[in-house]
Amino acid sequence: MSIRKGKNYPYGIHIPDMKYLCASSPIEVMPAPNKLFISLSQHIGAPAIPVVAPGDEVKKGQIIGKESGAISANIYSSVSGKVLSIEEIVNGVGQKQKYIVIENDFKNEEVLFPDMKDFEAQSIIDRIRLAGIVGLGGAGFPTAVKLSPKSPLEILVINGAECEPYLNCDNRLMLERTDDIFKGINYVAKALNVKRIIIGIEKNKPEALEAFSKYEGFEVVALKKQYPVGSEKHLIYCTTGRKVPVGKMPFDVGCCVQNIKTMIACYEAIELNKPLTEIVMTVSGLGINSPKNLKVAIGTPFEDIIKYCGGLKENTVKLVCGGPMMGKALANTVKFASKTDSGLIALSGEECSVAQPSNCINCARCANNCPMRLMPMYIESCALAGDFVGAEKYGAMNCIECGSCAYNCPAKRALVESIRFAKAKIKEAKQNGK
Amino acid sequence: MENNGQMLVYSSSPHKKAPRTTRFIMINVCVALIPACIAGIIFFGYLAAIILALSLISAVISEFVYLLICGMNFKKICAQFDFTSCVTGLLVGLTIGVNYPLYAPVLGSMFAIIVVKMFFGGTGKNLVNPAIAGRIFIFISFQSVVTEWILPSGNPVTGATELTGMLESGNLSSLSLLDMFLGRNLAGCIGETCKLALIIGAVYLCAMRIIDIRFPLIYIAVTGLFTVALNGFNFAYFLPSILLGGLIIGAFFMATDYVTTPNTKAGNYIYFFLLGILTAGLRQATGMETVSFAILLMNLLIPLIDKIIINKPFGFTKTKKKSVKDN
C-alpha angle A149/A150/A153, rounded to 5°? 55
Contact B6 A15 (CB under 8 A): no
The domain of B279 spans 22-308
Q: Which residue of chain A has the CA closest to B80? A: A358
Sign of the CA dihedral A211, A213, A219, A222? positive
Pairing mode of beta strands A49-50, A63-66: antiparallel
- Among residues A252, A270, A288, the one where a domain terminates is A270
Q: Would the pLDDT of A126 be above 70?
A: yes
Residue A1 binned pLDDT confidence (cut-offs 50, 70, 90): low
- Among residues A270, A297, A323, the one where a domain terminates is A270
Q: Give the pLDDT confidence of B229-286 residue by residue, as tens digits.
A: 998 888 888 888 888 888 999 999 999 999 999 999 999 999 999 999 999 999 988 8
Q: Domain for residue B294, yes or no? A: yes
Q: Would the pLDDT of A301 be above 90?
A: yes
Enumerate residues 6+ apart whose C-beta is below 8 A from B18: A407, A408, A409, A410
Q: Residue A87 is which amino acid?
A: E
Q: Domain for residue A374, yes or no? A: yes
Contact B11 A420 (CB under 8 A): no
CB B55 within 8 A of CB B111: no
Q: Give the pLDDT confidence of A182-219 residue by residue, as tens digits.
A: 999 999 999 998 989 999 999 888 899 998 888 888 88
Contact B313 A330 (CB under 8 A): no
In this prediction, residue B159 carries a pLDDT of 61
Q: Domain for residue B61, yes or no? A: yes
Same domain, yes or no, for A387 and A244? no
How far is the C-alpha of A218 from the C-alpha of A240, rounded, in Å?
13
CB-CB: which of B21, B311, B317 is closest to A410?
A: B21
Q: Domain for residue B208, yes or no? A: yes
How large is the average pLDDT for residues A406-421?
Answer: 92
Q: Give the pLDDT confidence of A142-181 residue by residue, as tens digits.
A: 999 888 888 889 999 999 988 899 999 999 999 999 999 9
How large is the average pLDDT for residues A369-382?
Answer: 92
In this prediction, residue A434 carries a pLDDT of 65
Q: Domain for residue A180, yes or no? A: yes
Task: Report helix angle B291-308 to B265-286, nearest 10.
Answer: 150
What integer best gives the mean pLDDT of chain A?
90
Q: Would the pLDDT of B86 be above 50?
A: yes
**Residue A224 DSSP SS3:** coil
- CATH of residue A178's domain is 3.40.50.11540
In this prediction, residue A217 carries a pLDDT of 83
Q: Domain for residue A352, yes or no? A: no
Q: Domain for residue B41, yes or no? A: yes
User: Rounded to two decimals, what is the model's pTM?
Assistant: 0.89
Contact B261 A364 (CB under 8 A): yes
Share of chain B above pLDDT 70, in %: 93
Q: Domain for residue B16, yes or no? A: no
The domain of A405 spans 365-433
Complete DSSP assignment for B210-233: SS-THHHHHHHHHHHHHHHHHTTS
Q: Give the pLDDT confidence of A51-71 residue by residue, as tens digits.
A: 999 999 999 999 999 988 888
CB-CB: which of A243, A358, A409 is closest to B82?
A: A358
- CATH of residue B142's domain is 1.10.3430
Share of chain A above pLDDT 70, in %: 100
Tally of domains within chain B: 1
Contact A245 B315 (CB under 8 A): yes
ipTM: 0.86
Share of chain A above pLDDT 90, in %: 58
Q: Which residue of chain A has the CA closest to B268? A: A364
Q: Domain for residue A170, yes or no? A: yes
In this prediction, residue A8 carries a pLDDT of 87
Share of chain B above pLDDT 90, in %: 59
Q: Which residue of chain B has the CA closest to A245? A: B315
Residue A419 binned pLDDT confidence (cut-offs 50, 70, 90): very high
Q: Give the pLDDT confidence of B124-145 residue by residue, as tens digits.
A: 899 999 999 999 999 999 988 8
Alpha-carbon separation of residue B239 from A61, A228, A395, B224, B235 (angstroms): 80, 45, 44, 7, 8
Q: Give the pLDDT confidence of A215-257 residue by residue, as tens digits.
A: 888 889 999 988 889 899 999 999 998 999 988 888 889 999 9
In this prediction, residue A82 carries a pLDDT of 93
Complete DSSP assignment for B172-210: PPSS-HHHHHHTTT--S-TTTS-HHHHHHHHHHHHHTTS
Contact A318 B80 (CB under 8 A): no
Q: Domain for residue B317, yes or no? A: no
How far is the C-alpha of A303 from the C-alpha of A321, rounded, in Å?
12
CB B237 within 8 A of CB B227: yes
CB-CB: which of A316, A324, A414 is closest to B3?
A: A316
Q: Domain for residue B320, yes or no? A: no
Q: Would the pLDDT of B308 be above 70?
A: yes
Longest dimension (CA), chain B: 78
In this prediction, residue A234 carries a pLDDT of 92
Q: Would the pLDDT of B320 be above 60?
A: no
Q: Domain for residue A336, yes or no? A: no
How far is the C-alpha of A353 from the C-alpha of A412, rounded, in Å?
8
Sign of the CA dihedral A137, A141, A147, A150? negative
In this prediction, residue B6 carries a pLDDT of 55
Q: Which residue of chain A has the CA closest to B320? A: A246
In this prediction, residue A18 carries a pLDDT of 86
Q: Give the pLDDT confidence of B167-217 residue by residue, as tens digits.
A: 777 667 677 888 888 888 888 888 888 999 999 999 999 999 999 999 999
Q: Domain for residue B250, yes or no? A: yes
Q: Domain for residue A276, yes or no? A: no
Residue B318 binned pLDDT confidence (cut-offs 50, 70, 90): low
Chain B residues within 8 A of A356 when measuring between CB atoms: 80
Tally of domains within chain A: 2
Contact B8 A372 (CB under 8 A): no
The minimum CA-CA distance between A13 and chain B, rounded to whole Å, is 10
Contact A345 B15 (CB under 8 A): yes
Q: Would the pLDDT of B148 be above 80?
A: no
Q: Which residue of chain B has the CA closest to A314? A: B4
- Among residues A210, A244, A270, the one where a domain terminates is A270
How large is the average pLDDT for residues A109-120?
Answer: 89
